[in-house]
Amino acid sequence: MIFSIADNIQNVRKRIQKATIEAGRSENAVELLAVSKTRPAEALFEAMQAGIESFGENYLSEALVKQSELERLCSAEQYSALSWHFIGPIQSNKTKAIAEHFDWVHSVDRLKIAKRLNDQRPDKAKPLNICIQVNIDHEETKSGVFLEDVPNLIDALKTMPKLKFRGLMCIPNAQLGEQSVKQAFMKMKSCFDGLSSEDSQVDTLSMGMSGDIEIAIESGATMVRVGTSLFGAREAQQH
């Protein structure tokens, strides 16, 4: 049996709903971000028809091409309802286009990048929503700040008027097993609770992907980033 993107979306929504209820959380506590990296604009369009309004992209040039293709596929009204989330590693020569073409960035992990995004966010645009990426398992090859360095970066973000600090993001090391992933998510949750209790603008805990949606929701995620379970397996990619 072949599943359509619409079927997959329905299944993922059911998984989210079930996990949310089982965790005793309120019905709309968890938002679904459709991770559309490597997928063609037509796939995003199909997802939009099934109610998706937020897309996560990792590669800038690919994303920009797709955004203009999608703009042609849908009405102006439909297109303007979309929100675009940059979730990949950021090189400093990419910040200007990110600041111009995205609504959210989940992968801020250093001051220099934050400053550039703030300086380059167009004046007429709303502040760019920011999550700090945390390298929760202290992996050498992974982006993100260590949890203990989060407060310093937040202090800096608060001085930047074109950025709006919304919360934290992480990608735990799935190879360490479910128990370890759960522990990583719980550490994130504990830090997030401290931050959100001090600042009501902090409302986003971005964690959980296709393989660990349920563990993330049970641990307090407010936004899950799902690619494979919506669009199928990705082909090997070159970037």
Provide the binding-site residues for ligand PLP, judged by CB under 6 A: 35, 37, 58, 87, 171, 209-211, 225-229
Distance (Å, whole) CA 139 – CA 171: 10
Q: How far is the CB of 174 from ligand PLP (least distance, A)?
A: 9
Q: Give the torsion sign (CA, 13, 15, 16, 21).
A: positive
169, 224 Cβ separation under 8 angstroms: no
Closer to ligand PLP by Cβ: residue 3 or 122: 3
Rounded to 5 degrees, φ, ψ at 29 are -70, -20
| Residue spans of beta strands (DSSP E) within 80-171 | 83-86, 104-108, 128-134, 163-170
Q: How far is the CB of 48 from ligand PLP (least distance, A)?
A: 18
Complete DSSP assignment for 172-198: --GGG-HHHHHHHHHHHHHHHHHHHHH
Q: How far is the CB of 124 from ligand PLP (least distance, A)?
A: 29
- Closest residue to ligand PLP using C-beta atoms: 227
Number of CB atoms found within 10 A of residue 152's CB: 11
Closer to ligand PLP by Cβ: residue 37 or 189: 37
| Residue spans of beta strands (DSSP E) within 58-188 | 83-86, 104-108, 128-134, 163-170
Q: How far is the CB of 121 from ligand PLP (least distance, A)?
A: 21
Q: How far is the CB of 77 from ligand PLP (least distance, A)?
A: 28
Q: Is residue 124 classed as helix, strand or coil in its secondary structure?
A: coil
Closer to ligand PLP by Cβ: residue 59 or 79: 59
Closer to ligand PLP by Cβ: residue 64 or 74: 64
